[in-house]
């Protein structure tokens, strides 16, 4: 699953992930596209707080894609 949060300010990308992560099977990866620089720290922090795996940050032409593996 890919969530497009481009053009949205934090905490909206985090809210989008929190609302949709249950749709992703355990062990699978969700990608969040965001261009708000705060997402670079907020998304990994959310993963730590919620015991989800932050897999990687991928640079895009505009913003980044943050890959999160669902643990539970």
* Tokens read off for 61: 């032409």
By annotation, the residues acting in catalysis are 10
Answer for the pair 11, 42: CB distance below 8 angstroms, yes or no.
yes
**Token code pair at residue 29:** 């990866």
Backbone φ and ψ for 55, nearest 5 degrees, come out as: -80, -55
């Amino acid at each position: 699953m890919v969530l497009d949060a481009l053009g949205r300010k934090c905490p909206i990308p985090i809210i989008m992930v929190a609302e949709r992560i249950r749709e992703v099977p355990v062990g699978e990866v969700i990608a969040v596209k965001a261009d708000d620089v705060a997402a670079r720290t907020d998304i990994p922090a959310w993963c730590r707080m919620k015991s989800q795996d932050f897999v990687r940050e991928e640079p895009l032409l505009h913003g980044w894609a943050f890959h999160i593996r669902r643990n539970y």
